A and B are shown apart, each in its own frame.
Chain A
Amino acid sequence: GENVEQHPSTLSVQEGDSAVIKCTYSDSASNYFPWYKQELGKRPQLIIDIRSNVGEKKDQRIAVTLNKTAKHFSLHITETQPEDSAVYFCAAGPTSGTYKYIFGTGTRLKVLA
């Protein structure tokens, strides 16, 4: 079935360093790839997304890259700050013939001050 693999599961970085989270998806029909940030006890919130007709998108300190051929997409956070600490989820969809989106298993990012 459809699958999204996300790595690493945990990531610790020093404040000011960069963080990279990678996802791989299986369904070649997927054309929308959002990233969500979930702070402890809060709802997931969209931070950036990319569509299949674009290879890279940037919003201030956050960027996402997409390689459709390899079915890889990545989240890049530069100049990390303590408030970036959270769990980040990638997703891919919709899957063939449906409106389902498959989520990765999440990456717990800790930014050390």
Chain B
Amino acid sequence: GAGVSQSPSNKVTEKGKDVELRCDPISGHTALYWYRQSLGQGLEFLIYFQGNSAPDKSGLPSDRFSAERTGGSVSTLTIQRTQQEDSAVYLCASRSSGGETQYFGPGTRLLVL
């Protein structure tokens, strides 16, 4: 079946611009996570959605970062006034209710010039 998809696969933007990254989770998965992976680094937790519950935003690095999940499915991660240090791969993962395994999307590679 279809896995987690993300778009765009690559995004180049200028410092100060806003960007939106999209994640389509596996159909029926109620949990959705966003992570940031800087070059050669591990996976940094950003935000977590579970069904209709309030999201866990504890990993967002600044108020320039926000995310929403509409209709319990697609999620959008928005970075406002991008900075060069925001350059990274942004990974999305989804998990079924009651399951433990997170399934990752291919990521969006963001480059801020």
Q: What is A's interface to B at a CB cutoff of 8 Å? A: 6, 32, 34, 36, 42-46, 49, 51, 89, 91, 98-106
Contacts and interface: CB of A to CB of B under 8 A. Distances in A.
B42 interface: yes
Of the candidates A43, A98, A102, A103, the one having the most CB atoms from chain B within 10 angstroms of its own CB is: A43
A44 B43 contact: yes
Contacts, number: 50
Interface residues of B, number: 22
A51 B107 CA distance: 27
Interface of B: 4, 31, 33, 35, 41-43, 45, 48, 50, 56, 58-59, 91, 100-107
A44 B104 CA distance: 6
B105 A43 contact: yes
Contacts of B42: 6, 89, 103-106
